[in-house]
Amino acid sequence: DMKPSIRVDDISSIVMQSKSEWILNMCRYCCEAGALKSCGKCKQANYCSKECQTMDWKLYNHKLICKS
């Protein structure tokens, strides 16, 4: 169908760039930089808070891609 798409095989390989700056350790839910907490199961999804992790699990179904 020639529509653009994104394929992510490994969530740890995602690096975002904004206004010529690299965003490191981006929170998977709110997209803030410097998220130092990670998913307790897969250890790959970064979060800035427990609340963001909970919301990601509920709203964006991290459980579907989480690998323990």
Number of domains in the chain: 1
Three-state SS string over the chain comes to CCCCCCCCCCHHHCCEEECCEEECCCCCCCCCCCCCEECCCCCCCEECCHHHHHHHHHHCCHHHCCCC
Q: Which residue in 19, 61, 52 sits closest to 34, CA to CA? A: 52
Q: Is residue 12 part of a domain?
A: no
Q: Is residue 15 part of a domain?
A: no
Domain membership of residue 33 as a residue range = 25-64
Looking at residue 49, its pLDDT comes to: 95
Chain segment 5-18, per-residue pLDDT in tens: 556 556 555 555 55
Looking at residue 1, its pLDDT comes to: 59
Looking at residue 5, its pLDDT comes to: 58
Q: Is residue 18 part of a domain?
A: no
Chain segment 21-65, per-residue pLDDT in tens: 566 788 888 888 889 999 999 888 899 999 999 999 888 888 888
Q: Is residue 34 part of a domain?
A: yes
Q: Is residue 3 part of a domain?
A: no
Q: Is residue 40 part of a domain?
A: yes
Supply 19's token pair. Answer: 């206004």
Q: Is residue 32 part of a domain?
A: yes
Looking at residue 3, its pLDDT comes to: 62
- What's this model's pTM, rounded to 2 decimal places? 0.64
